Amino acid sequence: MIKKMMTILFIIISGCILITILLLIYISPGKPDQFFDNNGKPAANSISEKIFVSIGGIRQGMIIRSRDIRNPVLLYVHGGPSFPNYFLFEKYQPGLEEHFTVCYWEQRGGGLSYSPEIPLETMTFEYLISDALEVTDYLRQRFAKEKIYMMAHSGGTAFAIQAASRSPEKFNAYIGMAQITNQSESERIAYKYMLDQHKIEGNSGTLKELLEYPLLDSDTSFIPFFKSAIRDKSMHQLGIGTMRNMRSVFTGVFLPVWTCRAYSITEKFNVWISKFRFVKRAGFIEELFVLDIPAIIPELKIPVYFFSGKYDLTVNINLSKKYLNKLNAPVKGFYTFNNSAHSPLFEEPELVNRIIINDILKEKTKLSDKQRAV
């Protein structure tokens, strides 16, 4: 009887595994969705492709999409650094491709650009800055544009703003979403907030895990906590992580990677291999915690727009706002998203699109906090 039950159990488990594999194959064609017209035919002048280009001597992947390639070009620099989030674009469809020809570049060492052959000593901000400028030149040449726009998110802002500062002549504007300034101070503020909130809510288990990472006075003391699983878990529990309403990293991040149709199965595995086995050993994490963006970039010679969620403590909104107030730029606007945490583009896409149409593409700041306060 026991042997028969074990046989049945084995068959059931094997069947579940087989179904899971077949489902994963079905939802992993490895191609980004196309744009179609009202007749169901590929939209004229549209583009939707995944390509690989040699950048900085490394094979790097990017997804390029636009409903109309005659639109301005936008380079999207994801966060991490080197943890791509194209899967969130596929899931939430924020609509950047309606206004721009968007290049979703996946940085060296991460996602589409993962390779175990990449030397760890090249995983630094200096290399990422160089790569960003090389991708910029590739896009300028390919789409015959003198200048392009650049939007960076979170960890990507730490080096993207440096790229814009070095070669402002290549950019129409810089858009920083969750703009990093001094991440060690941001972590200090977030850690204290999490301790206080979990005490108030009586979350003794999470509190115990947090207290295993006492934050010391030196900036680099934040690194073990930054790399820990409890940081993300705690932030999402409190609604100060990736999104205000994303309370689980598993359902909000892990599963969407596996259901992203633009990635092949191998590429989906590479996203996680790069994050957990490669990127966390990279030198730019150490660099991040001694970086003082306001000190090294007091001026940008192009229009600058910062997007921050009201509830963002992953990258502190108040530090970003303070920096922009002091930054010298020909045009600058700070935009607070009252229903967002770390990712306004996915949380309040309608407002982002209004800002793009009415402010960014016109070099205005009519919808900025300062203008709305008048």
User: Using one digit for the tens of pLDDT, what is the confidence trace for 192-218?
Assistant: 999 999 999 888 888 888 888 877 666
Confidence of residue 267 (pLDDT cuts 50, 70, 90): very high
Residues 164 and 194 occupy one common structural domain: no
- Beta carbons of 312 and 178 less than 8 angstroms apart: yes
The total number of structural domains in the chain stands at 2
Given this model, what pLDDT does residue 25 score? 66
Tell me what the mean pLDDT of segment 315-342 comes to.
Answer: 97
Given this model, what pLDDT does residue 351 score? 97
Residues 6+ apart with CB under 8 A from 255: none
Determine how β-strand 73-77 pairs with β-strand 101-105: parallel
Residue that finishes a domain, picked among 225, 248, 281: 281
Residue among 58, 94, 292, 100 nearest 181 (CA): 292
Q: What CA–CA distances, in Å, run from 38 to 42, 44, 47, 320?
A: 9, 11, 16, 42
Given this model, what pLDDT does residue 360 score? 98
Q: Which domain holds residue 165?
A: 47-182+288-373
The β-bridge partners of 105 are 62, 77
Residues 51 and 132 occupy one common structural domain: yes
- 5 has a pLDDT exceeding 70: no
Residue that finishes a domain, picked among 281, 298, 317: 281
- Residue with more model confidence, 357 or 7: 357
Given this model, what pLDDT does residue 304 score? 98
Tell me what the mean pLDDT of segment 54-78 comes to.
Answer: 96
- 29 has a pLDDT exceeding 80: no
299 vs 3: CA distance, rounded Å: 74
**Alpha-carbon torsion, ordered 182, 187, 189, 193, to 10 deg:** 160
Given this model, what pLDDT does residue 23 score? 56
Per DSSP (E only), the strands in the chain are 47-55, 58-66, 73-77, 101-105, 148-153, 171-177, 304-309, 332-337
Per DSSP (E only), the strands in 243-341 are 304-309, 332-337
Phi, psi for 144 (deg, rounded to 5): 55, 50
- Beta carbons of 240 and 193 less than 8 angstroms apart: yes
Tell me what the mean pLDDT of segment 19-40 comes to.
Answer: 74
238 found inside a domain: yes
Tokens of 312: 């963002």
347 vs 313: CA distance, rounded Å: 15
26 vs 16: CA distance, rounded Å: 15
Q: Output the average pLDDT for the chain.
A: 90
32 found inside a domain: no
- Beta carbons of 335 and 308 less than 8 angstroms apart: yes
Tokens of 278: 């490669």
Residues 177 and 306 occupy one common structural domain: yes
147 found inside a domain: yes
- Residue with more model confidence, 59 or 283: 59
282 vs 96: CA distance, rounded Å: 30
Residues 92 and 167 occupy one common structural domain: yes
Residues 175 and 323 occupy one common structural domain: yes
Tell me what the mean pLDDT of segment 31-55 comes to.
Answer: 91
Tokens 């010298």 map to which residue?
328
Residues in the chain: 374
User: Using one digit for the tens of pLDDT, what is the confidence trace for 127-149?
Assistant: 999 999 999 999 999 999 999 99
Residues 6+ apart with CB under 8 A from 16: none
Residues 73 and 122 occupy one common structural domain: yes
Return the minimum-mean-pLDDT range out of 166-170, 265-269, 349-353. Answer: 265-269
Given this model, what pLDDT does residue 30 score? 79
121 vs 82: CA distance, rounded Å: 14
Residue 355: count of CB within 10 angstroms of its CB: 24
24 found inside a domain: no
Residues 232 and 265 occupy one common structural domain: yes
- Residue with more model confidence, 239 or 215: 239
Residues 242 and 331 occupy one common structural domain: no
Given this model, what pLDDT does residue 49 score? 96
